[in-house]
């Protein structure tokens, strides 16, 4: 019984090594495909891409700052409503109402 257990371990190890070999072949193929697709990329194209990414980053940061400013009020809404009501009361008193 001890021998059959070791055989299972050997089969499992063999299967794992086959899977690892297959995954490494797939990874090598993907790296080769990437190298071939970027072979004609020159420094000017890379600089342009870097500039475009920086512009997109600034745009995203600006948009996030605007959205955060909309969501985060420095004065609570209840206080704003109370000030509006007080202002309306003052206006009515000034008009004589």
What pTM, to 2 d.p., does this model score? 0.44
Dump pLDDT digits (tens) for 53-82: 999 999 999 998 888 877 665 666 777 788
Angle value at C-alpha 18, between 32 and 28, nearest 5 degrees = 5
Q: How far apart are CA 34 and CA 29, in angstroms?
A: 9
Residue percentage of the chain with pLDDT more than 70: 81
Among the ranges given (11-15, 45-49, 85-89), the one the predictor scored with the smallest mean pLDDT: 85-89
């Amino acid at each position: 019984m001890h021998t059959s257990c070791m055989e299972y371990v050997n089969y499992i190890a063999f299967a794992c090594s086959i899977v690892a070999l297959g995954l490494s072949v797939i990874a090598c193929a993907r790296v080769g495909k990437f190298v071939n697709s970027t072979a004609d990329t020159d420094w000017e194209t890379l600089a342009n891409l870097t500039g475009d990414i920086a512009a997109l980053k600034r745009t995203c940061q600006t948009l996030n700052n605007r959205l955060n400013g909309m969501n985060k009020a420095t004065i609570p809404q209840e206080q704003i409503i109370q000030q509006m009501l007080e202002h309306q009361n003052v206006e009515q008193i000034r008009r004589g109402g």
